[in-house]
Amino acid sequence: MTGRICGTGSCLPKEVWDNDRLSQMVDTSDEWIRERTGIRQRHIATGEETTVSLAVGAARAALEDAGISAEEIDLLMVATVSPDEFFPTTSCRVQDAIGAVNATCFDLNAACTGFIFALNTAQAYISQGIYRTALIIGAERLSNLTNWEDRTTCILFGDGAGAAVVRAQDEAADASADAACGSNSKSAFDGENARERSDGVAGERNGNSTCGMDGTRVGNSICGVDGTRGGNSTCGMAGANVSPGRYAQVTHSVGAKGDALTCVSRNQAKYAGVDAPETYLQMDGRAVFKFAVSKVPAVILELAEKEKIDLAEVKYFVLHQANERIIQGIRKKLKPEILHLAEGHLREEHLREKDRPENQTEQEDEKKPDVSVNKAQAQENVREEKTPESEEEYEARFPVNIHDTGNTSSASIPILLDQLNKEGKLQRGDKLILAGFGAGLSYGASYMVW
């Protein structure tokens, strides 16, 4: 039994802070931020917008896209590092708001890798037949954790939520099981009948939000799936040629490097009335950058080797949107593998690093021997080169939306996934790899058939 994504949704606060606004708050500029991060703007929650309300907006949009009711959800998970309260959990608040009365609810904290870890968890439950329909949400209000006087971190983060409905489908991909996720693939709000406030309360349009709309800004929130893709949605395929579902994952954590990205809880007596910078997001940017550019290609390659996946057949690599330069670095490292070029260098480096103790990596990097292979080895390693594609075509395999959202931590992957979905770029049977990294430090990659 495999879980298949059959609906997506997202919700972004209506308030947008561009780089010029930040330049009035800290010593920075639009050019400096764009050059180092690729970010042009980010969405910031204000007023009544909360982590819960953003999660609710994304959840409702995903349910509408899937064409199912909230009562059909039997597992509801929220990945977040920025809950509005320690308890009740964000997931229980969402359950109450959307009416998912039959769902078991809990939150998960794996920072920016949170959505991938939550998706893996849902797949484990589904594969064992414990649950059949899961609603997975990544939701963050990072603006509450950001020191707006620290230019090294405040330029990076934004608020938002993304969600996916995952439903059980057996490996034979029988159409009847797939059809259970909605027979008409009605993923669209019509713009008149489905207004939602960003606090999760259904009602007429009152200036507070539009959830599940076409992505245009109305009122105070953008929460959107436009639904125009119709048959491209992964629900409602009864009687159609349904491709087999598949899911595989690899994850790792390196607690020894945890100090590279931290945020200490203020819920301690010693912080009463004290303005302590350690209670805001703290990051060693250089260490995180190096970690991401090294570990994400390695874990994708590990996944491909473990599951015998030809990376050339993967349509999209949906990466955590932390920094455009990180995405560029990952993309560059994976290019030989994806395009079937000489692959010996990346494989040799990956296999050696896999067997090396984590705390030796940096020291050995400085005296790394030549890992190039001789001609015989290279000839043995090189697969038949695929039809050349342009640089633009290759880059399109790594979609990016960080320009407009900033780093939304656990929400970044589902927000990007929903964007691809609502733009009609995902077709039934497409092969995807989702990959992320974040505080912990943790990282992972998941392979799925859409």
Distance of alpha carbon 63 from alpha carbon 76, whole angstroms? 12
Phi (first) and psi of residue 401, to 5 degrees: -135, 10
The answer to whether 51 and 84 are in contact (CB under 8 A) is yes
Sign (positive or negative) of CA dihedral 110, 112, 115, 117: negative
Distance of alpha carbon 162 from alpha carbon 139, whole angstroms? 6
| CB within 8 Å of 277: residues ≥ 6 apart | 147, 150
Which of 19, 232, 407, 421 is catalytic? The answer is 407
Distance of alpha carbon 70 from alpha carbon 217, whole angstroms? 25
Residue 266: Cβ-neighbour burial (10 angstroms; 0-12, 13-18, 19+):
middle
The answer to whether 430 and 244 are in contact (CB under 8 A) is no
Q: How many CB atoms lie within 10 A of CB 29?
A: 12
| CB hemisphere CA count around 111 (13 angstroms) | 20
**Considering only CA atoms, which of 180, 182, 176, 181 is closest in space to residue 239?**
176
Which of 211, 232, 263, 320 is catalytic? The answer is 320
Which of 11, 112, 181, 223 is catalytic? The answer is 112
Distance of alpha carbon 319 from alpha carbon 290, whole angstroms? 16
Q: Which two tokens stand for residue 442?
A: 């943790």
The answer to whether 14 and 209 are in contact (CB under 8 A) is yes
The CA radius of gyration of the chain, in Å to the nearest whole number, is 22
Whether 407 is catalytic is yes
Whether 267 is catalytic is no
Distance of alpha carbon 225 from alpha carbon 405, whole angstroms? 16
* β-bridge pairing 247-253 and 442-449: antiparallel
Active site residues: 112, 320, 407
